[in-house]
């Protein structure tokens, strides 16, 4: 009860040597706000670092296990024929089959023509497939360079 103050920095450990424990803020009839890293310092939050943890953001959010981000270098042919595509695969540790994948060419790379489409997917565990399509009626110059990816599973 009441307000407790202490000198900063502090460390709070919740759990035990087995890594179990929990904390509840508020109840079903109250709303609590937790501010982390609002001052001059920075904060790192590790949520669900166990092997079977899930995370949910927001009241209507869907639970997910992890978000993996990174970059790969795509080296397509200089010119991609009309309605053709090229596929390249990259090893990504922890990528699960049927994950949601977002891909985009990194800023500063060669701009893609409007008819060039890029798609990413995980069809085999641990393997990110990036496919570049030419949706045009004519051959198009393909962008070559760094692709950002985000995998949510």
* CA triple 17-23-27, angle to 5 deg: 160
Using DSSP's 3-state secondary structure scheme, residue 91 falls into strand
Tokens of 15: 């759990």
- Terminal-residue alpha carbon distance, the chain: 40
pTM of model > 0.85? no
In order along the chain (153 residues), what is the average pLDDT of each group of 10 residues? 54 50 50 50 53 71 86 83 91 93 75 79 95 88 83 91
Cβ-based neighbour number of residue 136 at 10 Å? 17
């Amino acid at each position: 009860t009441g307000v407790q103050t202490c000198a900063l920095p502090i460390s709070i450990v919740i759990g035990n040597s087995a890594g179990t424990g929990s904390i509840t803020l508020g109840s079903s009839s109250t709303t609590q706000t937790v501010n982390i890293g609002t001052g001059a310092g920075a904060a790192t939050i590790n949520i669900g670092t166990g092997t079977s943890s899930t995370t949910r953001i927001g009241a209507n959010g869907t639970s997910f296990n992890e978000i993996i981000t990174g970059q790969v270098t795509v080296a397509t042919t200089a010119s991609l024929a009309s309605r053709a595509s090229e596929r390249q695969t990259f090893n990504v540790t922890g990528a699960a089959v049927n994950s949601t994948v977002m891909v985009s060419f990194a800023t500063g790379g060669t701009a893609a023509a409007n008819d060039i489409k890029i798609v990413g997917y995980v069809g085999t565990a641990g393997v990110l497939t990036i496919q570049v399509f030419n949706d045009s009626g004519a051959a198009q110059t393909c962008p070559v360079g760094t692709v950002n990816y985000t995998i949510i599973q």
